[in-house]
């Protein structure tokens, strides 16, 4: 009976995640780990109005849930080195369904830079991933890319 109680406690605690600290691979000191290099852009520099294609590749060795149209574009604040939301969703209208991406599989998504991104700067794309096996949420971030100034 005691072994059963210990097993139940271990199973219950296995889904818990430990809080991270800044610089430990966790977003802003939260308990949401960052999964680098899962998203890549098709270029290193864009101009306003350009089509950007991102590619999400599952290198985690297990299936993940994703929805790329709900991804965000973030701008690097050069004064404090922090990333902040520039565009909260890549699509004007987006369904909330979570799709499954198996180990080693990849998917692409294309979007245009919007008018509110006319200032030059460094950007990246981030998206939430659902790691069902580990029962946690990850944040995948792309390589950084540069947005050149507008011609207007």
User: What pLDDT shows up at residue 12?
Assistant: 35
Pairing, β 83-87 against β 72-76: antiparallel
Count of the separate structural domains present in the chain: 1
pTM value is 0.73
User: What pLDDT shows up at residue 118?
Assistant: 64
Tokens, residue 148: 């050149």
What's the pLDDT tens digit per position in 46-76?
A: 988 899 999 999 988 889 999 998 899 999 9
Place of tokens 């946690």: 136
The answer to the question of residue 12 being in a domain is no
Q: For the residues 116-140, what does the mean pLDDT come to?
A: 86
The rounded distance, in Å, linking the Cα atoms of 112 and 90 is 8
The answer to the question of residue 18 being in a domain is no
**Residue 68 sits in which domain range?**
33-147
CATH number, residue 78:
2.60.40
33 secondary structure, DSSP code: B
């Amino acid at each position: 009976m005691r072994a059963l109680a210990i097993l139940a406690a271990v199973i219950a605690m296995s889904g818990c995640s430990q809080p991270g600290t800044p610089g430990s691979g966790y977003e802003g000191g939260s308990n949401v780990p960052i999964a680098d290099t899962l998203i890549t852009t098709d270029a290193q520099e864009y101009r306003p109005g350009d089509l950007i294609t991102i590619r999400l590749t599952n290198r985690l060795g297990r299936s993940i849930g994703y929805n790329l149209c709900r991804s965000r574009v973030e701008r690097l604040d050069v004064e404090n080195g922090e990333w902040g939301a520039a565009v909260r969703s890549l699509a004007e209208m987006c369904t909330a369904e979570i799709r499954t991406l198996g180990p080693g599989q990849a998917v692409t998504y294309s979007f245009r830079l919007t008018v509110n991104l006319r200032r030059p700067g460094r950007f990246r794309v981030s998206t939430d991933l659902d790691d069902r096996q580990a029962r946690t949420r990850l944040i995948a971030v792309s390589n950084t890319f540069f947005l050149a100034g507008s011609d207007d």
